[in-house]
Amino acid sequence: MELLRLPEPPWDVPGAFDPINAQLDLMTTLDRIIWMVRAFAPKLTLASSFGAEDMVLLDMWIQSGAAPIDVFCLDTGLLFPQTYDLIDEVQKKYGIQVHRATPKLDVSQQALQLGTNLWERDPDTCCRLRKVDPLSRHLVGYQAWMTGIRRDQTVHRRHAPLIGWDSAHNLVKANPLAPWTYTDVFDYLERHRVPFNPLHLQGYPSIGCQPCTQPVIDDHDPRSGRWQGKEKTECGLHL
């Protein structure tokens, strides 16, 4: 595969990645991932929350035979037991070590300093302390990060480019699955027998921290189980 050329810096200007996005759009997802890894490894880190999309991304990267890269998850200390089990399973199956980016305070320390169940009273602060700040710390020193976000997940993700500049963290953000649908994701998982969180089969299309994730009723928005009863729809990682 011909190595597409990255645009000349500066990259933090509007439209800097438009030409390359047009070319990436014509590629298969697997080729896109291979290109992204070649372009940025080893200064590329793959974010995984071990949701269905992230399992596709992880499996495609492994199957592509592309270079080893850092894989990390934001371990809030409040994930479902099934998610922790899946992390262990993935490490064994793929022979990788997942880096766990953790908050400065564990859950008990947070309760002592800021009161119990902060997620009920102030989920934005809780997400900042347990997800957003650890993400910022983790990304220091990398040139790019790769995520499994899809455009049809939320209104905030509707215009997610395949590759763009993440001004919040000052590095490139690559979203090779951006055009995928929920059906595409589960077709891939089934076809390639990729392990996934069993909660997806119990009414949880989107899985985050245990206290803030409920099953979704019937045909409701797949992310309606996150922060139910609150205006919040994003933890702040992808805003």
Catalytic residues: 235
Closest CB 79 distance from ligand SF4, rounded Å: 8
For 79, 120, 138, 154, the CA distances from 143, given in Å and listed in that order, are 28, 35, 12, 26
Does position 77 bind ligand SF4 by CB under 6 A? no
Residue 225 binds to ligand SF4 (criterion: CB under 6 A): no
Tokens 């700040």 map to which residue? 133
The residue written with tokens 């399992």 in the block is 55
Name the residue whose CB lies closest to ligand SF4.
209
| Binding residues for ligand SF4, total number by CB under 6 A | 13
Residue type at 206 in one-letter notation: S
Told to check if 49 binds ligand SF4 by CB under 6 A, we report no
Task: Check residue 66 for interaction with ligand SF4 (CB under 6 A).
Answer: no
From the number of C-beta atoms within 10 Å of its C-beta (0-12, 13-18, 19+), residue 5 rates as: exposed
C-alpha–C-alpha distance, residues 221 and 233, integer Å:
11
Of 69, 208, 216, 238, the residue at the interface with ligand SF4 (CB under 6 A) is 208
Q: Using CB under 6 A, which of 16, 146, 209, 237 touches ligand SF4?
A: 209
Question: According to the binding rule CB under 6 A, does residue 207 interact with ligand SF4?
Answer: no
C-beta of residue 52 within 8 angstroms of C-beta of residue 200: yes
Helix (H) / strand (E) element for 136: namely helix 133-139
Q: In this chain, which of 16, 60, 78, 237 binds ligand SF4, going by CB under 6 A?
A: 78
Residue 144 CB, nearest approach to ligand SF4 (Å):
24
Residue 74 β-bridge partners: 101
> Is residue 73 involved in binding ligand SF4 (CB under 6 A)?
no
**Cα distance between residue 29 and residue 60, in whole Å:** 9
Helix, strand, or coil (residue 23): helix
Residue number, 36 or 78, with CB nearest to ligand SF4:
78
By CB under 6 A, residue 238 contacts ligand SF4: no
Binding to ligand SF4 (CB under 6 A) within 97-136 occurs at: 119, 123, 126-127, 130-131
Residue 2 Cβ vs ligand SF4, minimum distance, rounded to whole Å = 42
Match 């899946």 to its residue by tokens: 86
Closest separation in Å from C-beta 237 to ligand SF4: 10
CA pair distance 207, 83, nearest whole angstrom: 9
State the greatest distance between any 2 C-alpha atoms of the chain, in Å, as a whole number: 55
Which residues contact ligand SF4 (rule: CB under 6 A)?
A: 76, 78, 119, 123, 126-127, 130-131, 208-209, 211-212, 235
